[in-house]
Structure 1
Amino acid sequence: TGDFQREFNPTCYRTEAHYTQLITSAQLKDQDSVQAFGFDIIMKKQVQTYIKMKNNPNQICWLLEKVQRSLNGTGHFRTFQQFLDHKQYTRNGILRYEKMFGAGYVSTGGPTTTKEFVDLLELKPGEKVLDVGCGIGGGDFYMAKTFGVDVLGLDLSENMVDIALERASLEHLPSVQFEVSDATKRTFPEESFDVIYSRDTILHISDKLALFKRFFSWLKPGGRLLISDYCCGEKPWTLPFEAYVKQRGYILYTPVEYGKFIEKAGFSEVRAEDRTSQFIQVIEEELQKARKLKEEFIREFSEEDYYAIVKGWQEKLERSKSGDQRWGLFLAKRKLD
């Protein structure tokens, strides 16, 4: 009746992470229990029109794909996304990386290499940039603020994008958007972007040629591609490096092989540069920084976290100096029609 006043709110509010867990954990076996099926997330993003109209950033859209699941599971994780979020890129792990790389960054060299590499793109105001493997958004905010471009950041890690969205709420940059997406399944209309940018991400993807063909179709004629990524030396590798690559689930190629994939995808003016010497220099600088920040690092995290991150950097340095681990920088263009 008109006199009745509800004393409680019956709506059950859930976090994005809770919804994602519900979606990806659902699994159904067929009648013969021979196969099992579940959902993979192709895309999860904020609905921008809802934000603009309602001033509410909490309207989220999920695009899902029904996929076959292993009845035994892959390790302890049903999906690669779960592997990333629960093992390789936990929230604590991401924030530890950020402490090493610099505020907003989870890729080698942080703001220093970002500025150096972005300058090679000669960005112009109003251009549209796709960042594949955007991490927590530092590079995207830098590009938008410095050059006036529109940036869409994709990352398969829910944890990465959650932190990026937290930072975006403070940056107040409507020209930067983020979404949880699988770049190997996400679709865009042809010629959607002026630039595709990716930092130390494609090492996770097995069919690099197929991905680069997608990049080619998404770029406008004259569009530019810039990638930095982990690479490897010629085989045979040392046993410790073999074990490291297997544990991380990386698919690595030499810088020369990597560049040939980009050429085969249709790109022109391909530059494939071995930047391992720069990689080594940056790692050494970051280790020096870590030693200076030791007490602060331990206060923010723990002593165990500090020694784990330093050990990881030292091992990265050893792998690079031995020649097993390489670091490549790749630039290319889609030729004007």
Structure 2
Amino acid sequence: MWAEPARVRERTDGRCQSVYLPLLSTAGQLILISRAKMSLSVPRQAVYYVKQLSAGRTLQTVQVVSPCEKQGAGFATAFEVLPVKTQVHNSLEQLPQIRNADVLIFNNALSHILNNADLLTDFLTRATAATSVGGIVIIREDLKNATDKRQVARLTDYFDVFRTTDSNGNNAGLDLYTVDQVQNSAFVEQNFLDFIFVFTKKAFAPTTDATITFRDFLDKTQYTNTGIDAYEWMFGVNFISPGGYDENLKIIKRFGELKPGQTMLDIGVGIGGGARQVADEFGVHVHGIDLSSNMLAIALERLHEEKDARVKYSITDALVYQFENDSFDYVFSRDCIQHIPDTGKLFSRIYKALKPGGKVLITMYGKGYGEQSDQFKEYVAQRAYFLKNLKEIGELAEQAGFVNVQLENMTPRFKEILIEERTHLEQNEQEFLSKFTQYERDSLISGWTNKLGYIEKDNHNWNLFLAQKPFAK
């Protein structure tokens, strides 16, 4: 006889559904039974972040809010590796009961409030109140069914800039560590829009600045959605760096032979064209990071469409994210690190992340040796650039321990590219104006023209740095 399978509510992505498993009856008939299908890799990914962020700190309580009870139980199981007490709740309604949590985790608990600003604000207020200062807040949310496939940018901004006065009078908020993809979803389900947002609760100094964080500054100034689209029109599909696809490929080949299965960290990956290019051209596995959520939202949307599991992205700061030592064959960066104030610290972190014998290749905007004009100084300040000349880059590279250091001033090529791109815009102005406004057109023309002027005065350089981490002796 056939057994009627019982229904259970579980899915590997943390939501709930019925799961049926085949089984032969004693009569040899195929029957179906149900069992909770649950992957512990998702909660263990959360444990990984907690270990990274809690080094040197004693944890006592982990609070988990998970509407799906089986998945909540999975978090409790995963956290058994730590000497902590884990408590699981099945509803956001229980959040007001939580206080002084060392770790507070939300597992697919926000779907019904994601598009309601008032409810999101109320949630963030309560989540901040429930967490101790220095505590870790992890929000896992699957956004693959969201109407807006770039919703991760809006949520990152919302979480990142939220501030409230806590019970101790602190100007409290969530300090961004990373927004990563859920690896189980990417590899098992080809779902690249399932995310883990990771923060620590922090007491911030009061501020009246229009942009609260540097990530917020990037997304509201240089990398607005319209600005990104206009840059992509100038540089070419999937790229927002000089010369587009062809120039990037030429630069990548400066590494030498890249082999399938090798690993690369791409710092300042932008809208992801370079990372997907390296994966497609050479079979290299790429971890692309960027602090602009607007840019990475585009990269993630396109990755979800293309389904290339060799590429993963994180919204994070290269000076904050804790990369594993000796983990990458290559580190690459296109025209990004001028945004990073401490180049020496960056080079030290890259050195540690590279495997022995691994290579780093960076192109960057730099300063020349001519007397800087007031206009150039104003341009640098507006963009929040921290420019170095080629000599300074070489000194910092050697201080970090790199060998076989190669430095090249590529400014002549930069000049050629600027002229080519400006001419392209002038000759295709009507096409551009069918997509963008006269203001964007004039801004790009004046920007490219100004850069050419800075080059003539040897204010603005385009530099390349290639080096190697020595092999262990």
Q: TM-score scaled by structure 1? A: 0.92
Does residue 164 (structure 1) correspond to residue 308 (structure 2)? The answer is: no
Query: Could you tell me how far apart the structure 1 residues matched to 2:167 and 2:160 are?
Result: 21
Bigger radius of gyration: 2
Query: Could you tell me how far apart the structure 2 residues matched to 1:132 and 1:152 are?
Result: 9
Matches of residues 100-179 of structure 1 in structure 2 within 5 Å?
A: 100-121=234-255, 122-179=257-314
Q: Report deviation, 1:21.
A: 3.0
Equivalent position amino acid for 2:451 in 1: K
Query: Could you tell me how far apart the structure 2 residues matched to 1:66 and 1:256 are?
Result: 40
Does the aligned pair in 2 maintain the 1:69–1:78 contact within 8 Å? no
- Corresponding residue for residue 16 of structure 1: 152
Query: Could you tell me how far apart the structure 2 residues matched to 1:276 and 1:21 are?
Result: 35
Query: Could you tell me how far apart the structure 2 residues matched to 1:52 and 1:111 are?
Result: 27
Equivalent position amino acid for 1:336 in 2: F
Does residue 225 (structure 1) correspond to residue 360 (structure 2)? The answer is: yes
RCO higher in 1 or 2 (8 Å CA, sep ≥ 6)? Answer: 1
Q: 1:55 to 1:327 in 2, by over 3 A?
A: closer
Equivalent position amino acid for 1:27 in 2: R
Q: TM-score scaled by structure 2? A: 0.66
Equivalent position amino acid for 1:99 in 2: W
Q: Report deviation, 1:330.
A: 0.5
Equivalent position amino acid for 1:327 in 2: W
Query: Could you tell me how far apart the structure 1 residues matched to 2:453 and 2:174 are?
Result: 40
Does the aligned pair in 1 maintain the 2:239–2:245 contact within 8 Å? yes
Equivalent position amino acid for 2:331 in 1: I
| 1:195 maps to which of 293, 310, 330 | 330
Deviations 1:29-61 (A, max 9, x none): 46786x633223221021020233345433210
- Corresponding residue for residue 214 of structure 2: 80
Where structure 1 has 5 or more consecutive residues not aligned to the other structure, the ranges are 1-9
- Corresponding residue for residue 268 of structure 1: 403
Q: 1:151 to 1:267 in 2, by over 3 A?
A: same
Deviations 1:169-226 (A, max 9, x none): 2322111111111110001111110000001111011111111100000000110100
Query: Could you tell me how far apart the structure 2 residues matched to 1:13 and 1:72 are?
Result: 27
Does residue 281 (structure 1) correspond to residue 416 (structure 2)? The answer is: yes
- Counterpart secondary structure, 1:124: coil
Q: 1:327 to 1:68 in 2, by over 3 A?
A: farther
| 1:327 maps to which of 462, 465, 469 | 462
Identical amino acids, percent of aligned pairs: 35
Q: Report deviation, 1:292.
A: 1.9
Q: 1:62 to 1:95 in 2, by over 3 A?
A: same
Does the aligned pair in 2 maintain the 1:191–1:221 contact within 8 Å? yes
- Counterpart secondary structure, 2:309: coil
Does the aligned pair in 2 maintain the 1:155–1:161 contact within 8 Å? yes
Q: Report deviation, 1:235.
A: 6.3
- Counterpart secondary structure, 1:154: strand
Query: Could you tell me how far apart the structure 2 residues matched to 1:68 and 1:101 are?
Result: 41
Does the aligned pair in 2 maintain the 1:42–1:64 contact within 8 Å? yes
Query: Could you tell me how far apart the structure 1 residues matched to 2:414 and 2:425 are?
Result: 16
Deviations 1:279-323 (A, max 9, x none): 111101111111122111100112221121111111111111111
- The farther-off stretch of 255-264 and 124-133 is 255-264
- Counterpart secondary structure, 2:372: coil
- Corresponding residue for residue 164 of structure 2: 28
- Counterpart secondary structure, 1:28: strand
| 1:98 maps to which of 209, 232, 247 | 232
Does the aligned pair in 2 maintain the 1:198–1:228 contact within 8 Å? yes
- Counterpart secondary structure, 1:300: coil
Query: Could you tell me how far apart the structure 2 residues matched to 1:256 and 1:306 are?
Result: 36
Deviations 1:42-86 (A, max 9, x none): 21021020233345433210121344533123x301100000011
Does the aligned pair in 1 maintain the 2:161–2:213 contact within 8 Å? no
- The farther-off stretch of 302-311 and 147-156 is 302-311
- Corresponding residue for residue 381 of structure 2: 246
- Counterpart secondary structure, 2:212: coil
Equivalent position amino acid for 1:221 in 2: P
Does the aligned pair in 2 maintain the 1:280–1:321 contact within 8 Å? no
Does the aligned pair in 1 maintain the 2:335–2:365 contact within 8 Å? yes
- Counterpart secondary structure, 1:191: coil
Does the aligned pair in 2 maintain the 1:255–1:327 contact within 8 Å? no
Does residue 43 (structure 1) correspond to residue 178 (structure 2)? The answer is: yes
Q: Report deviation, 1:236.
A: 4.1
Does the aligned pair in 1 maintain the 2:193–2:304 contact within 8 Å? no
Query: Could you tell me how far apart the structure 2 residues matched to 1:250 and 1:165 are?
Result: 26
Matches of residues 39-78 of structure 1 in structure 2 within 5 Å?
A: 39-73=174-208, 75-78=209-212
- Counterpart secondary structure, 1:106: coil
- Cα RMSD of the aligned pairs, angstroms, is 1.8
Does residue 212 (structure 1) correspond to residue 347 (structure 2)? The answer is: yes
Does the aligned pair in 2 maintain the 1:97–1:106 contact within 8 Å? yes
